[in-house]
Copies of this chain bind each other. A is one copy, B any other.
Amino acid sequence: MPNQVSNPAVSNATDQLCINTLRTLAMDAVQKANSGHPGTPMALAPVGYTLWSRFLRYHPQHPDWPNRDRFVLSAGHASMLLYGLLHLAGVEEIDENGTKTGQPAVSLDDIKQFRQMESKTPGHPEYRFTTGVETTTGPLGQGCANSVGMAMAQHWLASRFNRDDLKLFDYNVYAICGDGDMMEGVSSEAASMAGHLKLSNLCWIYDNNTISIEGHTELAFSEDVMTRFKGYGWNTLHVTDANDTQALAKAFEQFTQTRDAPTLIMVDSVIGYGAPNKQNTAAAHGEALGDDEIKLAKKAYGWDENSSFSVPEAAAHHLRDTLLSSHGERYEQWQRQLQTLTEREPELAEQLRRMRAGEMPEDWEAELEAFDTDAKGLATRAAGGKVLNAFAKKIPWLLGGSADLSPSTKTNLTFDGAGSFSAADYGGRNLHFGIREHAMGAIANGLALCYIRPYTSTFLVFSDYMKPPIRLASIMELPVVFVFTHDSIGVGEDGPTHQPIEHLTQLRATPGLLTLRPGDANETTQAWKIALAQTDRPSCIVLSRQPMATLDRERFGSAEGVARGGYVLADSKDPEVILIATGSEVGLAVQAYEQLQQEGIAARVVSLPCWELFEEQDAEYREQVLPAAVTSRVAIEQAGPLGWDRYVGSTGAKVVMNSFGASAPIDKLQAKFGFTVDNVVKLAKQQIG
């Protein structure tokens, strides 16, 4: 571990000037905001600069070029490194419609607004806020795992769109990772998967600065990272001085020549490099250095000590000019190749256009069939599998899989040509994530960032293992579909560790996420349709293990009501009591309703599969479904009670789970926890008084 790094071994004075510009901008921005992380940008400026100036395929006028290399700053706290690079590269801003605004992605004024309200330079890089930010990072390990998804996407896109003479997709993915990224389990999962898939287009740069927040990494982290990654099947390289741009270039060169494995480049660096009193200490990590120390650091760089936010003339356009001259022709060639594809295979080119625009194929709903009324019915996971396959046949870029549970979650694509995605066939559409839920979620986000419509699946209880990427999909507004089956005590004998209780509430609490829990096969169709129609938010589709009756839609309300989040499923004239249910409890509500009817009690059943969509309806519709005057209400859901007061008020009854479940056959569990017609009828009568 280096205590001191040798003097810069940068071959070119302009390069050194650019590198020091990145460093001083980071120091100045953090100082002005009096908040932020200067140390890593100072350490890694030579790494970022070498990559961008000599290797990253990037056109600053076309930051949405589909075949650009992806640069992921997994160590998102070092955001000023990225903002500095976007600034020096002169990247041009593109709005969410893909239209140029005529503004730079990051101007010098934007850098002066670092960490201020609505600036383009928030504390951590945020996708959608700043052109050139490929993914939102900050929660450690997520960017690493996103990068695996991006690298997988390249292979799939190449398999689909490349031709012998057309190389539309051959981009590389670079991710900068810190010690934290290396310690987080999600990146371990993702690294194992990347090695398994031999993602030779993936390069992680590990910033080995030996400093973490509590002090030297020796406090908690002494493993041999290189050996670990060899175990994952990675190509591993070591650069012993982050300032040695020639050694860095050699390592990147070796990466580009590696054909059968991802590459890890471990770079020994000095956090806060150049700040004489704070470098190589935790103090350089997460706070402003202070004016005095900044002056000393600038002096060490040979910089004007009294300057602030200084971009020397020679550095102002150098990186942009370099990128334009290196990649301008390549970009034009790519456009010609796309034109060739469009002429030769217009339908395929149209697919690519739709993927880029986030549009569905025109006939994407063509294969859907209604499920017939069936008292015996089928599990919504089974219905979901059929529906998914019907959609997937029509949406060639709908890809997904499971964390080793597809025989249970029923998410396998079974039609001819679907295939499995593997190192031997990157064109497959069934993804085998292994038992790695957390990486699965983050990889799906990476796929979604590269035009693919991904879905994932596991048991609902294991949504706990992948909450961080679900949250990031919501923040990034990515239309990922997260399928969760085995959604209640209906799991039965596997017991409380496998029976979700709090998970529906958790998902519903997450901003910007749709949580859909369909009540029968036809509601499942609608749930998938809604999820796939989203362009700017993720969805969870929550499905049962156990069979559920397929309701008679001629007698009851149409399942298209799912689109409004909740709807009247079964009704009576002037209902005295409203039974509100979701998922597997909708059938129970209907049975109770029928019993009440027989006893001459006017009841209504409301199916409420998606609270978020229901809340988006106007007040009139909501009043129509849940009239305020009818205060006698019973909520029925095999999940925790939190949130139900909204729909049943302070006097309503709740047939819910107030504890963990138990290991027993489903019928025994339903009786024990009150999910019986008798209990619902009893409570409904009590409500009426």
A residues near B, CB below 8 A? 33, 35-36, 76-77, 115-119, 122-124, 126, 136-140, 179-180, 183-189, 192-193, 195-196, 212-214, 217, 219-233, 282, 402, 404-408, 420, 422, 432-439, 461-462, 464-465, 467-468, 471-472, 474-475, 492-498, 501-502, 505-506, 508-512, 628, 640, 642-643, 645-646, 649-650, 657-660, 662-665, 668-669, 672
Contact = CB atoms under 8 A, between A and B. Distances in A.
B124 A497 contact: yes
A436 B183 contact: yes
Given A188-B188, A511-B657, 17 more contacts: A35-B494, A115-B493, A117-B669, A122-B662, A123-B495, A124-B495, A126-B663, A183-B435, A195-B223, A219-B434, A224-B232, A282-B407, A464-B467, A464-B468, A508-B642, A643-B645, A649-B649
A86 to B, nearest CB: 16
A124 B511 contact: no
B122 A35 contact: no
A435 B219 CA distance: 11
Given A196-B223, A231-B228, A404 B495 contact: no
Nearest to A470: B464
A441 to B, nearest CB: 11
A119 to B, nearest CB: 8
Contact of A213 (B33, B117, B408): B408
Copies in the complex: 2
A196 B221 contact: yes
Contacts of A229: 231
Contact of A435 (B180, B189, B402, B407): B180
A180 B462 CA distance: 13
Contact of A138 (B402, B422, B495, B657): B495
Given A123-B494, A124-B663, A189-B188, A117 B668 contact: yes
Contact of A506 (B137, B185, B509): B509
B214 A224 contact: no
A357 B117 CA distance: 53
A214 B404 contact: yes
Contacts of A185: 184-189, 436, 438-439
Nearest to A671: B117
A255 B276 CA distance: 47
Given A465-B468, A495-B122, A496-B475, A435 B184 contact: yes
B196 A116 contact: no
Contacts of A472: 497
B494 A138 contact: yes
Given A33-B493, A420-B219, A663-B124, A640 B213 contact: no
A124 B672 CA distance: 19
Contact of A223 (B231, B432, B669): B231
Nearest to A139: B497
Contacts of A645: 643, 645-646
A387 to B, nearest CB: 21
Tell me which of A136, A188, A508 has the highest count of chain B C-beta atoms within 10 A of its own C-beta. Answer: A188
Contacts of A640: 509, 511
Which 10 interchain pairs have the tightest Cβ spacing? A185-B185, A228-B231, A220-B434, A122-B663, A227-B231, A138-B497, A117-B664, A502-B509, A188-B188, A505-B509
Contacts of A136: 497
Contacts of A665: 35, 115-117
A511 B474 CA distance: 25
A35 B509 contact: no
Contacts of A76: 497
Contact of A505 (B406, B642, B646): B642
Contacts of A474: 660
Contact of A222 (B183, B196, B658): B196
A214 B138 contact: no
A124 B498 contact: yes
A115 B493 CA distance: 5
A130 B99 CA distance: 64
